[in-house]
Amino acid sequence: MQKPIDICAHTATPATPTPTTATPTTATPRTPTPTTATDTAPANLAPRPERPDIASRADLEALLRRFYGAAFADPVIGVYFTTIAGTDLDAHLPRITDFWERALFRTAEYRGDAFAVHHTLDRAAPLTARHFGRWVQLWHASIDGRHSGPHAERAKSQGERIAQALLRRLAGPDAKAQAGPSGFIPLATLALRRHSA
């Protein structure tokens, strides 16, 4: 009968020792071959290539196109953009880029009332914490898929603050941005986290 394997020692004890008759030789110490994370990690877990920070209006335009492409198609918030507001992205993009350029770089002129727009949408179909939470998920994923750095982090923080402020103003001061019951993250969010040029 074989002895059990001692898992703590990570070695197996053979049932009976085997006598050795070979003459001892001098063993050359073996140097382990260096490995990198990409050698050992599965392809989908390999480290992402370095992502640049958001540095210009052009970066913002590309980021916002990516975000709105996902938002328009999203099963939770897409209807607000496509059916309720009937958003024309080409017309909306310069204004929203001005907004984010001003928020991140203080270089653009933005004159608008984000609350009034959201209040109109809320009257047509109530906006809830679930809607704002999904917006934040998609916003974070869009940024993380393209950028990292201080401006990227500021854009994510600013997006969270805006979502919470709009929710409080629309739903009242006691409104809380709670997570949905399932914690569901749409596949579009995960796809946005992948780096793309």
What are the residue ranges spanned by the domains of the chain? 57-193
pLDDT value for 193: 52
pLDDT value for 107: 87
Share of the chain above pLDDT 90, in %: 33
Q: Does domain 57-193 have CATH number 3.40.50.300?
A: no
Q: How many CB atoms lie within 10 A of CB 53?
A: 16
Note whether 193 and 144 are within 8 A (CB): yes
Q: Select from 79, 193, 70 the least CA-distant residue to 131.
A: 79
Q: Could you tell me where the DSSP H helices lie in 42-88? A: 57-73, 78-79
Tell me the per-residue pLDDT of 48-105, one tens digit each, with 9 for 90 and over.
668 999 999 999 999 999 999 999 999 999 988 888 888 888 988 999 999 999 999 9
Mean pLDDT for the chain? 74
